[in-house]
Amino acid sequence: MDDVILEMIDITKTFPGVKALNHVNLQVQKGEIHALVGENGAGKSTLMKVLSGVYPHGTYTGDIHYQGKLCEFKNIKESEKLGIVIIHQELALIPYLSIEENIFLGNEQGKYGLIDWHATTMRTQKLLATVGLKELPSTLVTNIGVGKQQLVEIAKALSKEVELLILDEPTAALNEDDSDNLLKLLLEFKKQGISSIIISHKLNEISRIADSITVLRDGATIETLNVRSDHITEDRIIKGMVGRELTELYPKRDAAIGDIIFEVKNWNVYHHLHSDRKVIHNVNFHVKQGEVVGIAGLMGAGRTELAMSIFGRSYGQKISGQIYKNGSEVHLKNVSKAIEEGIAYVTEDRKQYGLILNNDIKRNITLANLKNIANHSVIDDNKEILVAEKSRQQMNIKCSSVLQNTGNLSGGNQQKVVLSKWIFTEPDVLILDEPTRGIDVGAKFEIYSIINKLAKDGKGIVLISSELPEVLGMCDRIYVMSEGSITGEIAGAEASQERIMKYVMSK
Partner 1 sequence: METLKLMFKSNIREYGMVIALVSIVLFFEIVSKGVLLQPLNVTNLIQQNSYILVLAIGMLLVIVAFQIDLSVGSIAAFVGAVSAILMIDYHIGVVPGILISLLIGGLAGAFQGYWVAYFKIPGFIVTLAGMLIFRGLTMTALEGQSKAPFPEVFQKMSNGFIPDVLSGTSIHLTTLVVGIILTLVYIYFELSHRKAKLEYNFEVIPVRFLAAKLVFVGVAINWFMYLLASYKGIPNVLILLFILIVFYTFITTKTVIGRHIYALGGNEKAAKLSGVKTERIVFWVFVNMGVLAALSGLVFAARLNAATPKAGTGFELDAIAACFIGGASTAGGIGVVMGAIIGGLVMGVMNNGMSLIGVTIDMQQTIKGLVLLLAVAFDIYTKSKQS
Residues that bind partner 1 (CB under 8 A): 311-312, 314, 334-336, 338-339, 345, 347, 352-359, 363, 367-368, 370-371, 374, 377-379, 381-382, 385-386, 403, 407-408, 421
Long-range contacts of 126-134 (CB under 8 A, 24+ apart): 127/103, 127/155, 127/158, 127/159, 128/99, 128/155, 130/155, 130/158, 131/155, 131/158, 131/185, 132/181, 132/185
Q: How far apart are CA 404 and CA 214, in angstroms?
A: 44
Instruction: Report, in Å, the least distance between residue 488 CB and partner 1.
Output: 29
Instruction: Report, in Å, the least distance between residue 339 CB and partner 1.
Output: 5
Among residues 64 and 339, whose Cβ is nearest to partner 1? 339
Among residues 38 and 312, whose Cβ is nearest to partner 1? 312
Q: How far apart are CA 446 and CA 464, in angstroms?
A: 17
DSSP of 74-141: SSHHHHHHTTEEEE-SS----TTSBHHHHHTTTS-SEETTEE-HHHHHHHHHHHHHHHT--S-TTSBG
Give the C-alpha distances (Å, rounded to integers) separating 24 from 75, 205, 216, 227, 296.
21, 24, 8, 20, 27
Among residues 80 and 360, whose Cβ is nearest to partner 1? 360
Instruction: Report, in Å, the least distance between residue 392 CB and partner 1.
Output: 14
Instruction: Report, in Å, the least distance between residue 111 CB and partner 1.
Output: 39
Instruction: Report, in Å, the least distance between residue 449 CB and partner 1.
Output: 25
Torsion of CA 99, 142, 130, 116, to 10 degrees: 0
Spatial contact of 207 and 232, defined as CB atoms under 8 Å apart: yes
Give the C-alpha distances (Å, rounded to integers) separating 27 from 49, 67, 489.
16, 11, 39
Among residues 44 and 313, whose Cβ is nearest to partner 1? 313
Q: How far apart are CA 376 and CA 387, in angstroms?
A: 18
Instruction: Report, in Å, the least distance between residue 354 CB and partner 1.
Output: 6
Instruction: Report, in Å, the least distance between residue 153 CB and partner 1.
Output: 29
Among residues 247 and 382, whose Cβ is nearest to partner 1? 382
Among residues 319 and 335, whose Cβ is nearest to partner 1? 335
Instruction: Report, in Å, the least distance between residue 14 CB and partner 1.
Output: 21
Among residues 207 and 366, whose Cβ is nearest to partner 1? 366
Sign of CA dihedral 397, 400, 406, 412: negative
